[in-house]
């Protein structure tokens, strides 16, 4: 642990710090593998439905979504 600390403080210089490029890329790879595994699961139904249901902020019921009285021209 002491060794770890001295290494960490040495490596505050911007850039690679004390890390070899191999270790840098290995950490990056593992981090992304973990993350992308979840990303690949896509959008669970519960969230798709949630977003679909909430047409308007505050849940104000409104027909077809497009009927806003404000400036809605030029959108699509």
Partner 1 sequence: MPLTDSLRNDILAAVPSLRAFAISLSGNADRADDLVQETLLRALANIDSFQPGSNLPAWLFTILRNLFRSDYRKRRREVEDAEGNYAKTLKTQPSQNAHLEFEEFRGALDKLPQDQREALILVGASGFSYEDAASICGCAVGTIKSRVNRARSKLAALLYVDGAEDFGPDETVRAVIGGSGG
The contact set with partner 1 (CB under 8 A) reads 3-4, 7-8, 11-14, 17-20, 22-24, 26-28, 30-44, 46-48, 50-52, 54-58, 65, 68, 70, 72, 75-76
Of the candidates 45, 73, 72, the one whose C-alpha atom is nearest the C-alpha of residue 56 is 72
Sequence length of the chain is 76
The whole-angstrom separation of Cα 35 and Cα 2 is 30
């Amino acid at each position: 642990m002491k060794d770890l600390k001295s290494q960490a403080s040495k490596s505050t210089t911007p850039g690679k710090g004390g890390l070899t490029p191999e270790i840098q890329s290995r950490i990056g790879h593992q981090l992304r593998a973990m993350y992308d595994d979840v990303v690949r699961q896509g959008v669970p139904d519960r969230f798709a439905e949630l977003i679909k249901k909430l047409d308007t902020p505050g849940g104000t019921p409104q027909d077809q979504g497009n009927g806003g009285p404000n400036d809605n021209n030029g959108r699509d």
